[in-house]
Amino acid sequence: MNFDGFMDRDKISNNDYRLIEVIADRAVESSRQYDVDINRRELIGEILAVHINICSLRLNEFLEADDFNFIHDIGGIRKYLVVNRKEGTIEFSNHFWPRFADEGR
């Protein structure tokens, strides 16, 4: 998925970016045990798009989550993230909301 126009890299700290990379690494590694191939670069883009445009994620908690809750958010982000270029919107479908969304934002 291409997120050009939805990614203002200045809206995220270097620390948050690094955490997102580590979250993606964990997702890629854990997906192998289920014979699922996740593209690390695409996943980083998806998580960034969510964190910047939809809801801040509690990245430390996300990274340290048990497998069940971690997979819930990774799978949901991958499955329900919808980018509408024509309307210039990015959102989740089917009422998905990440468990590690920061409700303060």
| Contacts for 79 with CB less than 8 Å, ≥ 6 apart | 96
Give me the pLDDT at residue 99, please: 97
Per the structure, the count of domains in the chain is 1
Structural domain containing residue 81: 9-92
Per-residue pLDDT of the chain (105 residues; tens, 9 = 90+): 555 555 666 788 999 999 999 999 999 999 998 898 999 999 999 999 999 999 999 999 999 999 999 999 999 999 999 998 888 899 999 999 999 999 865
pTM: 0.89
Give me the pLDDT at residue 105, please: 55
Strand partners, 83: 90
Percent of the chain with pLDDT over 70: 90
Query: Is 97 part of a structural domain of the chain?
Result: no
Are the beta carbons of 43 and 27 closer than 8 angstroms? yes
Give me the pLDDT at residue 11, please: 81
Query: Is 104 part of a structural domain of the chain?
Result: no
Query: Is 61 part of a structural domain of the chain?
Result: yes
Query: Is 32 part of a structural domain of the chain?
Result: yes
Closest of 30, 36, 38 to residue 1, by C-alpha: 38
25 to 3, 8, 9, 53, 101: CA distances (angstroms): 20, 22, 20, 22, 20
Give me the pLDDT at residue 39, please: 95
Query: Is 100 part of a structural domain of the chain?
Result: no
Query: Is 1 part of a structural domain of the chain?
Result: no
